[in-house]
Amino acid sequence: MPFTSERLKHFTESVIREMTRVSERYGAINLSQGFPDFDPPAELIEAARKALSDGYHQYAVTWGSPRFRRALARKQSSWMGLDLDPDAHIVVTCGSTEAMMVALMTVCNPGERVIVFSPFYENYGADTILSGAEPIYVPLHPPEFQFHPDELRNAFKQGVKALVLCNPANPSGKVFTREELQYIADLAQEFDAFVITDEVYEHIVYAPHRHTYMAALPGMFERTLSCSSLSKTYSITGWRLGYIIAASEVIAEARKVHDFLTVGAAAPLQEAAVTALGFPLSYYEQLQAGYTRRRDLFLGYLDAAGLPYTVPQGAYYVMVDCSRFQVTDDRAFCRWLAKEIGVAAVPGSSFFHEPIHHFIRFHFAKQEKTLMESGERLLRLKAGPDIPVDLPKNRED
């Protein structure tokens, strides 16, 4: 049999998606893979039904249906404080997942270096390898997940083509301050690098923190590829609608990559999502309020269970420090947690480049009753239940 690609030897299957399978196997509450267990707004579901009966069944324009791009340009111009042209500044993709891959393939030649903050959303590791780029990891030091300015400058000095910025950040829950973003922007300008943002959680930010768009900082629009999606903002992770916003010269190139990767995002769902993009400000306020309630509810249970964590400033994840359990194999610990406690989490080591094994990540994009049930289960950890020394080692435990 011929050999498969060498590229694929450098990363494994997604640990996050693996934990969803583990969760299903044990009937645990799945707080691993980040997607809601509640429906999107009813108007949106109705709009999808209508789009299907109105005949939107064939390919849309490759880089996004004109109505979708117009609605997106209107909404993002207002949130980002930019004057976006739907015909020049946007390519619509299959989620931010495709957007990030397209962005890296658009800016990087094989072997060029890309800065990735660690801990990082696990796709970025695979994205850099698949695009031929070479990642340079810069630590976000726990528990505050701050970068050290000198470490970042030193990374830029190695000659980089781009920096990947997840803001608000998964898994750390960090929201970068304007000052931090300005520091990154100054380095990108000094070293003539692109910034590729992943802003899927742009509308899930907890007061008093505020989201600042990198592309809106002075001089940064020309060198920023702003990737985001509708997945999290409208609770439609399965619709696979995302986009890149960038300067017209960059978008012209990105459209080529996107065209040959996927041809386009689902036509009827683009049509339906025009409804979401027209939602009033109150929708986003309610979204924030809902997630703030869920976050506070879940953190209350972590407090009660005696589990230390870093308070998330944005997104819907919390990193829990499990040092107390003296666990050295966080993957095995997470399988044990799913099986014996009935709550699935993601082992923190799948997000860190450094050998850090004492964090696990929960997400709280769940109905309050689901969070209460999982919280009650986690309370069993307060007494410090006997955690077997021989935690299950393989995937088929």
Binding site for ligand PLP (CB under 6 A): 34, 95-97, 121, 166, 170, 198, 200, 229, 231, 237, 242
Three-class secondary structure of residue 278 per DSSP: coil
Quote the least distance from Cβ 340 to ligand PLP, whole Å. 26
Residue whose CB is less far from ligand PLP, 127 or 180? 127
The total of other beta-carbon atoms located within 10 Å of residue 67's CB is: 15
Quote the least distance from Cβ 124 to ligand PLP, whole Å. 9
Residue whose CB is less far from ligand PLP, 346 or 391? 346
Residue whose CB is less far from ligand PLP, 13 or 222? 13
What is the C-alpha separation between 157 and 154, in angstroms, rounded? 5
Q: Give the rounded distance of the alpha carbon of 257 from its chain centre.
A: 21
Element (H, E) at 360: strand 359-363
What does the block give as tokens for 395?
A: 């995937």
Residue whose CB is less far from ligand PLP, 121 or 194? 121
The total of other beta-carbon atoms located within 10 Å of residue 233's CB is: 21
Q: State the burial class of residue 117 (Cβ atoms within 10 Å of its Cβ: 0-12, 13-18, 19+).
A: buried
Looking only at the bridges linking them, the beta strands covering 162-166 and 359-363 are unpaired
CA dist 179 to 176, 308, 310, 316, Å?
A: 8, 28, 21, 23
Quote the least distance from Cβ 174 to ligand PLP, whole Å. 12
Quote the least distance from Cβ 250 to ligand PLP, whole Å. 19
Quote the least distance from Cβ 233 to ligand PLP, whole Å. 10
Q: State the burial class of residue 248 (Cβ atoms within 10 Å of its Cβ: 0-12, 13-18, 19+).
A: exposed
Note the helical H segments in 263-391: 267-277, 281-304, 330-336, 368-378
What does the block give as tokens for 330?
A: 């966080």
Residue whose CB is less far from ligand PLP, 97 or 350? 97
Nearest to 264 by CA among 232, 242, 290: 242
The amino acid present at 289, given as its one-letter code, is A
Quote the least distance from Cβ 226 to ligand PLP, whole Å. 13
Residue whose CB is less far from ligand PLP, 29 or 94? 94
Quote the least distance from Cβ 74 to ligand PLP, whole Å. 20
Q: Please report how many Cα atoms fall inside a 13 Å half-sphere around the Cα of residue 349, on the Cβ side.
A: 13
Residue whose CB is less far from ligand PLP, 120 or 336? 120
Quote the least distance from Cβ 229 to ligand PLP, whole Å. 3
Asked if 333 and 389 touch (Cβ cutoff 8 Å), the reply is no
Residue whose CB is less far from ligand PLP, 20 or 62? 20
What is the C-alpha separation between 292 and 207, in angstroms, rounded? 9
Which residue minimizes CB distance to ligand PLP? 95
Q: Give the rounded distance of the alpha carbon of 166 from its chain centre.
A: 7
Residue whose CB is less far from ligand PLP, 73 or 102? 102
Quote the least distance from Cβ 222 to ligand PLP, whole Å. 23
Quote the least distance from Cβ 274 to ligand PLP, whole Å. 18
Residue whose CB is less far from ligand PLP, 40 or 325? 40
> Nearest 5°: phi and psi at 228?
-165, -175
